Amino acid sequence: MTAKDYVKAIGAQLHEKDGNQTEFLQAVDEFLSTVTPFLEKHPEYEANNLLALLTEPERLLQFRVPWQDDEGQWQVNRGYRIQFNSALGPYKGGLRFHPSVNLSILKFLAFEQIFKNSLTGLPIGGGKGGSDFDPKGKSDGEIMRFCQSFMTELAKHIGPNLDVPAGDIGVGGREIGYLFGQYKRLRQYDAGILTGKPVDFWGSLGRTEATGYGAVYFVNHLLAYNKDSFDGKHVLVSGSGNVAIYAIEKLQQLGAKAISCSDSTGVIIDEAGIDLELLKEIKEVKRERLTAYKEARPEATYVEGSLWDQAVAADIAMPCATQNEINLAQAKELVKNGVKIVAEGANMPATLDAAEYFIAQGVHYCPGKAANAGGVAVSALEMSQNSQRLTWTKEEVDQRLDDIMKNIYETCRDTALEYGAENNYMLGANIAGFAKVANAMLQQGLV
Ligand code: NDP
């Protein structure tokens, strides 16, 4: 069979088996759409049917999470952990608490995590987990009881050399703290069990900022290579959570103007530049909606709906909210409005046809698995610090983060060039991430 037919057959098999897992199939289709030239060069992978192994998780866990709300009523949510691939190290990837969470979404996230973690050059495998629990509007007590119940089951399946979860949508320092506390009660004090911990108990300095900063560093290296800089650039940022806030912070530090942010109900456009202190106060301290931003800054515009439906001129777009937030029509609008770089702080925020459109139009499209790898990279640095029982300074962590992002950018760029697809960072990220994992799997006897 030719490599092209092999890739097609694997895709068809998965569509047959997992036809209802749309997000997972989307992530696999994107990956498969780029790997044929690599398989042509390396027939040993097809000979060992490696793609079939790679697309099947090593282990899937699903469990019930009973918890009591403030009225004393029992509630039940679904908990999951996907342990997808351990060729390069313990499973590593965040926990997401959001009502949309299901097996398909977590499998797509865990699948992408394999290549992302490989690109960091650090010893971590790929995993992801979470629950369809909705933290929005819950009291601290309810969040705590939910986290305790979630960890009561999860604790049986994780460990510093087995699986090390972190945060994602709906899981920040508060949730990690409650999860950690419960693990400690059930087992023992083990700093290496979770990352994204508050710095008071062995979290890494710079972890909170890492994903947003890292995505901006990635673009900064791309700009520098093209003899350009952030200076004066207008940037559209979506989301107003952890990734968006620290992307905006680093953009401002590097001389760009971030002119938007959003949440699941609406969008702020602030042509004077986002007021970061105000945004942090609203989202990190008060946990309010973005309408509060408009109230405090009447000169800004607030509209309900998606940022990507607003026709706003900009140089760079950084989607930092969630998957599939940019479709093909919105991608076309962005290109029409002058966007030359799209860097994904979120995971898979562009649909596959939108991503392919960007690439075809010569837009520098920086896929999430490369551009947002800074978060997991600093999580791996947190693991190193926990093992050493040492803490590094914020400057040291930040310098390492910048070095890692530079390396990821260069790897994606050079791999794309090597395969005759200049500036196709999607192909570069997939092939470079895959090469290392595939090699490790073969050397370990395909286990
Ligand atoms: P947060 O929970 O801190 O923030 C998420 C933001 O996205 C909020 O503004 C939220 O709005 C918005 N959002 C979430 N779901 C939707 C939706 N369905 N429609 C519209 N807006 C939505 O999460 P993070 O900032 O941590 O994560 C954002 C993205 O970055 C995710 O794709 C995540 O997987 C990815 N990522 C995160 C990393 C990390 O270290 N945290 C690492 C790598 C990637 P609202 O509050 O209204 O729900």
Taking the C-alpha atoms of residue 231 and residue 228, their distance in angstroms, rounded to an integer, is 8
Q: What does the alpha-carbon distance between residue 126 and residue 87 come to, in Å, rounded to a whole number?
A: 9
Q: Find the angle CA(329)-CA(331)-CA(335) to the nearest 5 degrees.
A: 120
* Same domain? 274 vs 359: yes
Closest atom, ligand 1, to C-alpha of 345: 30
- Say whether 82 sits in a helix, a strand or coil: strand
Q: Is residue 414 part of a domain?
A: no
For ligand 1, atom 42, the nearest C-alpha belongs to 375
In 181-211, which positions are buried (b, 16+ CB within 10 angstroms) versus exposed (e)? ebbbeeeeeebbbbbbbeeeebbbbbbbbbb
Are both 63 and 10 inside the same structural domain? no
- Beta-bridge partner residues of 97: 131
Separation between Cα atoms, residue 195 and residue 302, nearest integer Å: 35
Shared domain check, 235 and 184: no
DSSP H helical ranges for 135-199: 140-154, 173-186
Is 42 inside a domain boundary?
Answer: yes
Give distance in angstroms: CA of 238 to centre of ligand 1.
9
117 annotated among ligand-binding-site residues? no
Give the model confidence (pLDDT) of 413-441 as tens digits.
Answer: 999 999 999 999 999 999 999 999 999 99
pLDDT score of 447? 56
Closest-lying ligand 1 atom to the alpha carbon of residue 171: 2
> Within a domain: residue 319?
yes
Contact 348, 108 (CB under 8 A): yes
Atom of ligand 1 nearest to the CA of 116: 43
Token pair, residue 158, equals 């994780």
Residue 113 marked as a ligand binder: yes
Ligand 1 centroid distance, CA of 239 (Å): 6
Tokens 């000979």 correspond to what residue?
Answer: 47
Domain assignment present for residue 110? The answer is yes
Task: Kindly state whether residue 235 falls inside one of the protein's structural domains.
Answer: yes
Which residue in the block uniquely carries the two structure tokens 């979404």?
A: 105
Give, as one character, the DSSP assignment of residue 128: E
Contact 358, 385 (CB under 8 A): no
Cα dihedral sign, 299-257-209-132:
positive
Cβ atoms < 10 Å from Cβ of 5: 11
Three-state DSSP state, 165: strand
Q: How would you write 342-391 as a 3-class SS string?
A: EECCCCCCECHHHHHHHHHCCCEEECHHHHCCHHHHHHHHHHHHHHHCCC
Residue 232 belongs to a domain with what CATH number? 3.40.50.720
Q: Name the residue type at position 165.
A: P
Q: 225 and 162, same structural domain?
A: no
Last residue of a domain, one of 354, 371, 388: 371
Residue ID of nearest Cα to ligand 1 atom 10: 263
**Residues 6 or more apart from 185 whose CB is under 8 A from it?**
none
For ligand 1, whether the C-beta of 241 sits within 6 Å is: yes
Specify if 400 maps to a domain. no
Of 371, 399, 425, the domain-final residue: 371
Report whether residue 167 contacts ligand 1, using a CB cutoff of 6 Å.
yes
Question: Domain check: are 232 and 84 in the same one?
Answer: no
What's residue 329's pLDDT?
98
Side-by-side strand order, sheet with 125-131: 59-68, 74-85, 125-131, 91-97, 163-166
Domain boundary among 329, 355, 371: 371
CA neighbours within 13 Å on the CB side: how many for 406? Answer: 9
Q: Would residue 415 count as lying in a domain?
A: no
pLDDT (0 to 100) of residue 38:
97
| 3-state SS, residue 304 | strand
Predicted TM-score (pTM) of this structure: 0.97
What amino acid is encoded at 288 in this protein?
A: E
Nearest residue by C-alpha to atom 20 in ligand 1: 264
Is 376 a member of any domain?
A: no
Q: Is 165 in the pocket of ligand 1 (CB under 6 A)?
A: no
Cβ-based neighbour number of residue 444 at 10 Å: 10
Amino acid present at 204: S
- Other beta carbons within 10 angstroms of residue 410's beta carbon come to 15
Residue 377 burial (10 A CB sphere; 0-12, 13-18, 19+): buried
Co-location of 227 and 344 in the same domain: yes
Domain with 87 in it: what CATH number? Answer: 3.40.50.10860
Catalytic residues: 128
Both 64 and 181 in one domain: the answer is yes
| Blockwise average pLDDT, block size 10, the chain, 447 residues | 96 97 98 97 95 97 98 98 98 98 98 98 98 96 98 98 97 97 97 96 96 98 98 98 98 98 97 98 95 97 97 97 98 98 98 98 98 98 96 98 98 98 97 97 86
The CA 262 to ligand 1 mean position distance, Å, reads 10
**257 assigned to a ligand binding site:** no
- Report which ligand 1 atom has the smallest distance to the Cα of 373: 43
Residues 174 and 94 in one domain: yes
Span from the CA of 168 to the centroid of ligand 1 (angstroms): 7
Domain with 106 in it: 59-189
Amino acid, single-letter form, for residue 303: V
Q: Are residues 260 and 358 in the same domain?
A: yes
Structure tokens of 125?
A: 């495998």
Distance from Cα 241 to the centre of ligand 1, integer Å: 6
Residue with the smallest CA separation from ligand 1 atom 48 is 264
What is the domain count for the chain?
3
279 ligand 1 Cβ < 6 A:
no
Cα gap 256→358, rounded to integer Å = 22
DSSP per position, 388-421:
HT----HHHHHHHHHHHHHHHHHHHHHHHHHTT-
Residue 211 Cβ inside 6 Å of ligand 1? The answer reads yes
The response to whether residue 347 sits with its C-beta less than 6 Å from ligand 1 reads yes
Q: For the range 295-300, what are the long-range contacts, defined as Cβ-Cβ under 8 Å and sequence gap of 24 or more?
A: 297/270, 299/270, 299/272, 300/268, 300/269, 300/270, 300/272
- Are both 238 and 341 inside the same structural domain? yes
Do 129 and 230 fall into the same domain? no
Does residue 143 sit in the same domain as residue 22? no
Q: Which of 82, 83, 73, 65 is nearest to 152 (CA)?
A: 65
User: Residue 117's closest CA among 427, 378, 425?
Assistant: 378
Ranges of beta strands (E only) in 263-379 are 266-269, 301-304, 316-318, 341-343, 364-366
